[in-house]
């Protein structure tokens, strides 16, 4: 009897519940599978051009650096008595 039990275990296929990382839908994939999209989204994603791996296009644009001393910033002189939390509205 133990031989039959181990044979049936070997023929089992296990699945795990997975959410689609594009549409958020739930679906089942084989345990250890690497699919991250449901079938419908996988087909749509396959039609898109591949992502760029060029380091120049992967960088974020640099803007002004906050917190750096520019030297010409004068501050808020005379505003010490202003209560910024008393705006009277919802932010």
Tokens 């750096």 found at: 68
Q: What is the DSSP string of 2-58?
A: HHHHHHHHHT---EEEEE-TTT--EEEEETT----S-HHHHHHHHTSPPPP--HHHH
Neighbours of 6 (CB within 10 A): 8
Q: Identify the pLDDT of residue 30.
A: 94
pLDDT, tens digit, for every residue of 36-77? 999 999 999 999 988 777 766 666 667 777 766 655 555 556
pTM of the complete model: 0.47
């Amino acid at each position: 009897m133990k031989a039959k039990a181990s044979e049936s275990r070997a023929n089992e296929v296990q699945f795990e519940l997975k959410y689609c990382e594009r549409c958020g839908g739930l679906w089942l994939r084989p345990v250890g599978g690497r699919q991250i999209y449901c079938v419908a989204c996988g087909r749509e994603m396959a039609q898109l051009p591949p992502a760029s791996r060029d380091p120049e296009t992967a960088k974020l644009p640099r803007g002004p650096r906050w917190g750096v001393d520019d030297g010409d910033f004068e501050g808020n002189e005379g505003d010490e008595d202003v209560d910024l939390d008393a705006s009277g509205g919802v932010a």
